[in-house]
Amino acid sequence: MKDLKFEILLFYYKRPEIVKNALESIRKVSEMYDNWHLSFIDDSGDEEFRNSLESFELDQSKVSYIPINMSDDEKNRLGGSMMGAFANEIIERTDADVIIPLCDDDALMADYLNNLNTFYLNNPQEVWSYCHVIFYDPNSEHYLEATFDPKYKRSTEPNLNAHTEPIHPSCKVDSSQVTFRKTPATSQSIRYPSPQTIDLDRSLFESFVVRHGLCPFNSALGQYKGWFPDQLGARVRSTGKEYIQ
């Protein structure tokens, strides 16, 4: 069977040192898996980081830079960023089979695309899935210093590796642990909300659950996850509840 193509949506906002982890990891991924495209969605309101993209030795024919030229004042007036609208447009026009959202504080495992390719080819009925992660502190560590250290799994914080069963992803895993096939999203108008900044993924997840059921575990250790206190707290505050499914 032909290998699947992956569209990586890298959501960036004013963290030029931290995002270097994500870009370096994509270069290492490309050494193991060739069928991918990167859309670098810049929500910073300027293009200061744009010229740095070439320094990561990525195949520039596979990289698109998408600036969102909005000031913070404009976002406040609208009630959020237009990042979701830009992501929807990319998903609509890509020729990729599977979409990989990636936050600018995260990084990909070098073999993740290989593992995702195997999962989706072997499970054609599955339209989305989630992975496990290992943690690092992007403010002080390189992503290759990621660890299973229990300090990142204190009982008062969500454990992003707590599940292996099918789940509703909201409030259970970080948004970038979830990947999904392009065709079900576009054919059924499953879209990111816009304008919106906080919990950008939640409405999209809810639409997938309604149409396709709970999200299965793909058995992959997929990401180096930038860890922060209250990792899922904003989503819990936004919804006012945790999903029980």
> What is the band of 100 on the pLDDT scale with cuts at 50, 70, 90?
very high
In terms of Cβ atoms closer than 10 Å to its own Cβ (0-12, 13-18, 19+), residue 132 is buried
**Which residues are within 8 A (CB) of 185 and not within 5 positions of it... i.e. 6 or more apart?**
91, 99, 191, 204, 208
Structural domains present in the chain: 6-239 (3.90.550.10)
pLDDT at 245 (0 to 100): 33
The SS3 call for residue 203 is: helix
Mean pLDDT rounded to a whole number for the chain = 89
- Give the mean pLDDT of 16-41: 97
**What DSSP element (H or E) covers 204?**
helix 202-212
Q: Characterize the bridge pairing of strands 98-103 and 178-181.
A: antiparallel
pLDDT single digits (tens) 141-197: 899 988 776 565 554 556 888 899 999 998 889 899 999 999 999 999 999 999 988
**Residue-level pLDDT at 236:** 52
- Using CA atoms, how far residue 238 sits from 80, 110, 235, in Å, is 14, 33, 5
Of the pLDDT bands very low, low, confident and very high (cuts 50, 70, 90), residue 234 is low
Nearest to 159 by CA among 144, 143, 172, 140: 172
> 244: pLDDT confidence band, cut at 50, 70 and 90?
very low
DSSP secondary structure letter of residue 159: -
Tokens of 136: 């690092």
